[in-house]
Structure formats: structure tokens, C-alpha cells
Amino acid sequence: MKKTLSLLLVLFAVTLTLSAAVTGSGNAKLTAAVGNGFSVDAKADVSYTLKMPMLEGDGPLFSDNNLKVKAHVGVSPIAVTGSIDAVLTPIAIAEISLGGGAGTGWDLPLMKLEGLRLGSGAIGTTLKSDHLGGVYYFGRAGLALQFDTGAILSGDWSSVLVRAYHELNYQGYSNAEAAQPWEYETGGAAVNGFNCKGEYILAYQMPLPLNLVGAQFEWYINNVFDSDRSPLLYDVSALANIDIIDHLSLLVVGQFSNYQKKDKGTSELVLRDAVGFKRVAVIATYSF
């Protein structure tokens, strides 16, 4: 009995310590984008993150080590997606992440949009609406390396941010058989399987309302372990972030890509003859 009581007291003390150390923050985002052919996209996202100290050590590389758990919900006119990610920072310049999520989609006849589509053959065959027919799901693991020169150089104008992120993910649709094509939220035809992606950012941060300008390069290979894997698809983006008021910012993104949809019926992603315009997006973020 005494051992049980002692254990409960220890657990209670640990819980109180962790509760005092855990901090929370969130943000809400509204995204509007205009793409090729004046296609318009819109999305609302809400996320909340709990941060707790973990594997802390001495020195600037280890003193702020932590674990973050992030819950996210995104809603567009044709789909809703939820996810949970855990991000471990074992050293200041690295993040290891693991997460997953699920969603579903529906038709919006007024704008001739379909959130879920399913084909009957291989990629390249016509997709048809599968309105609320099944569940889109995914799991992912990633590693990010990042560095800010402002951490070692003094001065308000010394911050150059460099970030590299690599991810392996599995995406699937519950109503699709092996090699059966589907499309979620107008993202292009896909099949159940593993994919990989990379993301690289180089940005300069300034003590101005226009507090960040930079460039981003993202690449994707779908069905990475299959013989019929996709070619290397990539996006190149110019970034500019503006602080509007406290807690409210506006990110403007101009994006170009080396791929496009072959046609609306199949939504097959094919290479372009040359890199071309993809979209311009404006993302308003409120932090709380």
C-alpha cells in the first residue's frame, strides 16, 4: 500500500511538473489562390500545438530541445481533412516528425468541383465523382534540418534562414483497389502507395513590416517504390511575408511548376515542355 501511494505521489508530481512546462499556441489560416485558367482555390485551416521540454541539455544546441504535438483541421469548399503530428527537436538544427490524418470530400455542382474522384482502370483513365464515398488517409515521417544565422550573428539585419525537409509518406483512398486511380481535393490522379518529397527554403528576415523574402523549391516522386513511379515533379516559389498587425500576417506566394494536369477527365499529372506558371496564393495567418 505504501509503495502504491508513493508511486501515485511521484506520478502526481511528474504530472504537475509537465503541466507547468507545457505551453500551447495556435493559428488560423485563410488561403486564396488563383491558378492557370483563372481557377480559384480557397481553404481555411486551424491548428493548435502543445510544446513540452524533452531531452534538454546544456548549450545553445540542446537547451531548448522539445516535443511538439500538433492537431490540424483544414476545410475547403469540397473537402475536410484532419491530422495529428508529433515533432521532436533533439538538437536546435533538426526536427524529426511523425504523423497522419484522414479526410473526405464532396461535390460542389455550382462550381463543377468534385472533392473525391475514382477511376476504373489505371492512371490515365477517366475519373468520376465518388461523393462522400470513402476516406482519404495518409501517414508520414519527416526530417528537417534548419539554421538561422541570426542565432550566431548580432544585429537586426543578420538573419538568413535555411531549411531542408525530406518526407516519406503513404497515401491511400479506402474505396480504391491496388493501382486504381483516385483524386482528392483536385490534387491530381494518384494510387495507393508510398511517395517522397523534399522542400528547401532560403529566406532573409528583416525588422520591417515586410519581414521575410525568400525562395522555396519543392519536389515530389509518387509511387516511389514501384516500377511505374512518377517522374520528378517540382514547384519553385517566391515568398514574401508581411506583418499586418500583432498576431496577423500575410504571406504572398508566386508558384511555378514543371508539371500540369493532362486534362480534367483523367487529372493525370504530366511533365510540361518548360517550367510554367502554376498559381499565386495569398495566405492570411492569425496566431493565438
Each residue of 236-280: pLDDT tens digit?
Answer: 999 999 999 999 999 999 999 999 999 999 999 999 999 999 999
pLDDT at 39: 79
Condensed to tens digits (0 to 9), the pLDDT of residues 32-69 reads 999 987 678 999 999 999 999 988 888 888 988 999 99
Please check whether the domain covering 24-287 is classified as CATH 2.40.50.100.
no
Under 8 Å CB-to-CB from 247, ≥6 apart: which residues?
Answer: 286, 287, 288
Q: Is the pLDDT of residue 15 over 90?
A: no
Query: Which residue do the cell numbers 509518387 mark?
Result: 222
pLDDT at 14: 53
**What SS3 class is residue 178?**
coil
pTM for the whole thing? 0.90
Query: Which residue do the cell numbers 483536385 mark?
Result: 186
pLDDT at 19: 59
pLDDT at 230: 95
Mean pLDDT, the chain, whole residue set: 93
Query: Maximum CA pair distance of the chain?
Result: 76
pLDDT band at 4 (very low <50, low <70, confident <90, very high): low
Under 8 Å CB-to-CB from 72, ≥6 apart: which residues?
Answer: 45, 46, 47, 82, 83, 84, 85, 101
| Dist. CA 162–CA 97, nearest whole Å | 18
